[in-house]
Amino acid sequence: MSEVLFWELVEKDKGRVNAVCHKPQILSAEEKAKGLTVEFRPQPPRVAGAGETAVLYVKPSTGELTYEYEARAKTTEELLAEVVAQNAQILALLARVLETR
Structural domain harbouring 63: 3-72
Question: What's the order of all strands across the beta sheet hosting 36-38?
Answer: 36-38, 3-11, 14-21, 52-59, 64-71
**What dihedral angle (degrees, nearest 10) is formed by the CA atoms of 5, 10, 14, 15?**
0
Total domains in the fold of the chain: 1
| pLDDT tens track for 39-73 | 988 888 888 888 899 999 999 999 999 999 999 99
Is 30 a member of any domain?
A: yes
pTM: 0.71
Contact between residue 72 and residue 51 where contact means Cβ atoms under 8 Å apart: yes
Is 82 a member of any domain?
A: no
| pLDDT tens track for 15-25 | 999 999 999 99
pLDDT at 13: 93
Is 94 a member of any domain?
A: no
Category of 73 on φ-ψ map: left (φ > 0), alpha (ψ -120 to 50) or beta: beta
pLDDT at 101: 77
Is 92 a member of any domain?
A: no
pLDDT at 1: 80
